[in-house]
Structure 1
Amino acid sequence: MWQGLDEFLHVVEHGSFTHAAKAMEVSTSHISRQVQQLENRLGSVLFQRTTRKISLTDAGREYAVKLKAIKQELIDANNQLQGEQRRPKGLIRITGAGEFVATNVAPKIVEFVKRYPDVEVDMDFNNRNVDLVEEGFDLAIRFGRMQDSNLIARPLCPRIMTLVASPDYLQQNPAPTTPHQLTKHNCLVAMGKRWRFNFNGEIKEVKITGNWRSNHPRALLSATLGGLGIAHLACDIVEQYVQQGQLVTLLDEFQVTDNASWLVYPRKDLMPYRVRLLIEYLLTSFRAC
C-alpha cells in the first residue's frame, strides 16, 4: 500500500526524478519505477512527462495535497512518540556568505547545536544566489532587499549601509556633498554598479564606477582602508574603523534604511522539526540583540 508514496512526494517536492533520486540517495531508475508502479496500482497518471520536464496532472496534484497532509500527521506522531520534540536530530544544510554570517549567525548556530547535540549542521559559504530547493538546502542567510519569490523571507535584523573612505583618499579627492558627485570618484564595487540613496524621501539610484570589485566585504574594507576609493558597506563592518579615525563616513543624510539580513527558506509543506526549531531559535536570538 505504501510502496512508491515517498518517491512520489520527493519528485513533487524536488521537481524531477533526478533531483528526487539525489535527495533519497537512490538511482533515477528506481524513482521512475516506483512512481510508475504506483500509477499502475492507482489506475491514474500522476505526472505529465516530456523529454525536458515533468508536471503534475490534476489527479496528481490532488493526490499530492492529501498525501502531504497524511505524511505530516505521521511525522508529528513519530516525533511525539520518539521524543524528537525534546531532542531533535538530523542534518540541517545552510547557505550564506559574508562577515555577518560568519561572525553573527554562526555563533548562534553553534549554541543551537550545543543545546541539541543530535543535530548536524552543514554551512556552505557561497556568494552566488543558490537555488535552495534544487541544491537541497534548508535555509539561507541573505542580505539586502528581498525580491518576490517562492521563498519565505523573514528579517533577522536591519543593517544600515554607509559610504566610507580613508582620510588619505579624501586628502587627494574632495569629499562628495551629493550622491551624484560620486561619478567623479573611484568607487569600490561589491555586487552591482548602482548605489541607492534617499533624496528627500524618494529612492534613486546612482551609477558608479571604479577599479576595484569584490564580492567579499573584508576585501572591500581592506581596499578602502588602503586609500583606494569610496566603499558602500554595512555600518556594523566599518564602525570600529570610523571610531578609530581610519575611515570617514560620507553622505549620511542620503542613506536608505531598508536593508536587512534575512532568513530565507523554501515554502515546504513538510518541514523537519529540527529546521523549524532552528528558524524560531535564530529569529528569537536576533530579536533579543
Structure 2
Amino acid sequence: MQVLEGVSEFAAVAETSSFTVAGKRLGISTAQVSRQVSALEHRLGTKLFYRTTRKVSMTEAGQLYYQQCRRALDELEEAERAVTNLQLTPRGLLRLTAPVTYGEGTIAPILNDYLSRYPDVEAQLHLTNQMVDLVADGYDLAIRLGKLEDSTLMARRLTSRTFYVCASPDYLARHGEPHALSELDQHRCLLGTQDTWRFQEQGRARSVRVKGRLRCNSGWALVDAALKGMGLIQLPDYYVKDYIEAGELVSLLEPYQEREDGIWGVYPHNRHLSPKVSFFLDHLTAALKG
C-alpha cells in the first residue's frame, strides 16, 4: 500500500533524530531508511528533515506530518494487538486497586466473575481510598472516581456515577423539603470528609457549604443516619439508589444535580497492554454497562 511506504522509516528518524539509529531500530540498513524517506518526501512534494553532517531535525512540514503519522501508527499497532489478543488467553497475576466501598460492592464481584471465566489468571485486589502510585507499587490497573488529575497515566472511561441529595420521608415530614440551594442552610446536613456539596446551576458547577450535627468518613454510616431521619445526605448512586427505589429515601434538588461523574480504569502509559489487563478492562466495561 503506497500511502504507508516510508512512514515507519520517517517516524523512526523523527523519534531518534538519526538515520543510523532508525535503521538499527527497524532492523534495516541506513541506506534503506534514507531511500524510503527520500521517496516519501518526493511523493509528498516537500522536505521533512533538515540534514547536515552533524544533525537531523524536522522541518515544519515534518513536524505536522509526524503528529498525524504517529496517531495512525499507534492505531495500526493497536489493531494488530487486538487481532493478536483474539488468539491469546489471559494468564498471570493481575494487580489492581480500587476505592473501598465501590471496590467491595461493584469491582470485586466483577473481578470474581472474570477469574471464573479465565482460570489461568490470579488476582490481587487492594481496596484503599488513598491515591497509590501504579508504577512504583507495581499495579496493573486502578479504578478511580471523578475527575482525573494524573496526566502521565492512560485512562478508559468505564461508566459514570450520579450524586444524589436525599432524606427519609420522616425527616421531610418534620422539616420540609428544600427546593433551592439557598434553603440548604435551613436543614441538618450529614457530612462526609468535605464541608461542601457539589451541584450544577445554569450549566455551571457550584459548591455549597453545608453544616450539621454529624460528620463521618463512612458513606454507609451516613446512609444509616439518613434512614433514621437525622438529616440530608449527598452521596453517589451506588450508596442510595436502592433506598430511593424502595421509598426509604427521597431524592431532592434534582434540577441542581451535577452531570454524571466519570468512573475510570487507569493504567501506566503503555500501548501494549497484556491480555490479562485488556481482557479485564473489556469485561469490566461490559459488566458496568450491563
Normalising by structure 2, what TM-score? 0.64
The secondary structure found in structure 2 opposite 1:128 is coil
Q: CA deviation at 1:252?
A: 0.8
Q: What is the distance in 1 between the residues matched to 2:259 and 2:182?
A: 19
Match of 1:222 in 2: 224
The one-letter amino acid of 1:165's match is A
- Give, in whole Å, the separation in 1 of the partners of 2:236 and 2:168: 16
Match of 2:259 in 1: 257
Deviation at 1:185, TM superposition (A): 2.4
Equivalent in 112, 115, 118 of residue 116 of structure 1:
118
Q: Could you list the runs of 4 or more consecutive aligned residues of structure 1 that deviate by over 6 angstroms after TM superposition?
A: none
- SS at structure 2 position matched to 1:121: strand
Using the size of structure 1 for normalisation, the TM-score is: 0.64
- State how far apart, in whole Å, the 2-side matches of 1:86 and 1:268 are: 19
Contact 2:89 2:275 in 1 (8 A): no
The equivalent residue for 1:152 is 154
Partners of 2:209 and 2:182 in 1: CA distance: 9
| Deviations 1:110-169, CA, capped at 9 Å, x for gaps | 121112112111111111222222222211112222235322222211211110111222
8 Å CA contact 1:144, 1:260 repeated in 2: yes
**Equivalent in the alignment of 2:163:** 161
Deviation at 1:281, TM superposition (A): 2.3
User: Corresponding residue for 1:205?
Assistant: 207
In structure 2, the CA distance between the partners of 1:229 and 1:263, relative to structure 1 (3 Å rule), is: same
Match of 2:184 among 162, 182, 188: 182
Give the Cα–Cα distance (whole angstroms) in 2 for the partners of residues 109 and 122 of structure 1.
10
Aligned counterpart, 2:174: 172
Does the 8 Å contact 1:127/1:215 carry over to 2? Answer: no
From 232, 244, 248, give the equivalent of 1:246.
248
One-letter amino acid of the counterpart of residue 109, structure 1: L
Q: Deviations over 1:242-270 (max 9, x none)?
A: 23322111101110113132212221366
> 2: CA distance between counterparts of 1:274 and 1:105?
16
Structure 1 stretches lacking a partner, 5+ long: 1-72
Counterparts of residues 12-91 of structure 1 (less than 5 Å): 86-91=88-93
1:160, 1:260 within 8 Å by CA — same for their partners in 2? no
Aligned partners of 2:91 and 2:122 also within 8 Å = yes
Map of 1:281 onto structure 2: 283
Q: Distance in 2 between matches of 1:243 and 1:277?
A: 33
Q: Identity of counterpart residues, as a percentage? A: 35
How do 1:137-148 residues align onto structure 2 when only pairs under 5 Å count? 137-148=139-150
* TM-aligned CA distance change 1:284 to 1:110, over 3 Å: same
Q: Cα–Cα, structure 1 residues 122 and 213, in superposed 2: closer, same or farther, change >3 Å?
A: farther
Q: Report deviation, 1:101.
A: 2.6
Unaligned residue ranges in structure 2 (runs of 5+)? 1-76
Amino acid at match of 1:94: L
How large is the RMSD of aligned CA atoms in angstroms?
2.7
Matched position secondary structure for 1:189? coil
Q: Is the 8 A contact 2:167 2:233 kept in 1?
A: yes
1:159–1:227 distance in 2 versus 1, CA, 3 Å: same
Query: Which deviates the most, 277-286 or 225-234?
Result: 277-286
Q: Is the 8 A contact 1:98 1:217 kept in 2?
A: no
Answer yes or no: is the 8 Å Cα contact 1:153–1:262 preserved in 2.
yes
Corresponding residue for 1:194? 196
The one-letter code matched in structure 2 to 1:220 is: L
How many angstroms does 1:191 deviate by? 3.7
